[in-house]
């Protein structure tokens, strides 16, 4: 699903929940054209994706921030819940 939104507008920063809800409602996996990236926003879908680390790979990292992507830290799913 293609989704056009501005994640960093003054309105979205002041109140991000409506934008997050729109993304969640758009589907389990959403293409954010403006940011050239796929987004998984639903809790169970994110957890499943993080656990599928041999299938779902990102050579560019999983953060929208180059500093974090190049920091050498990893993101993993917890088995709690």
In a domain, 76, yes or no: no
Average pLDDT value for residue range 1-5? 68
User: What total number of domains does the chain contain?
Assistant: 1
For residue 12, give its domain range: 2-69
Average pLDDT value for residue range 70-75? 65
The dihedrals phi and psi of 7, each to the nearest 5 degrees, come to -75, -20
d(CA 31, CA 4): 8
> Tell me: the pLDDT tens digits for 19-65?
999 999 999 999 888 888 888 989 999 889 888 878 877 666 666 66
Nearest CA to 26 among 38, 14, 16, 15? 38
Predicted local distance difference test score (pLDDT) of residue 5 = 77
In a domain, 77, yes or no: no
> Tell me: the pLDDT tens digits for 7-21?
888 999 999 999 999
For residue 73, pLDDT beyond 90: no
- Answer whether 4's CB lies under 8 Å from 34's CB: yes
Contacts of 63 (CB under 8 A, 6+ apart): 69, 75
In a domain, 81, yes or no: no
In a domain, 78, yes or no: no
Question: How many residues does the structure list for the chain?
Answer: 81
């Amino acid at each position: 699903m293609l989704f056009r939104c501005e994640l960093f507008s003054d309105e979205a920063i002041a109140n991000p929940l409506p934008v997050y809800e729109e993304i969640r409602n758009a589907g389990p996996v959403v293409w954010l054209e403006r940011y050239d990236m796929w987004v998984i926003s639903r809790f169970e879908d994110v957890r499943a994706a993080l656990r599928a680390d041999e299938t779902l790979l990102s050579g560019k990292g999983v953060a929208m921030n180059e500093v974090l992507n190049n920091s050498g830290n990893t993101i993993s799913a917890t088995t709690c819940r």
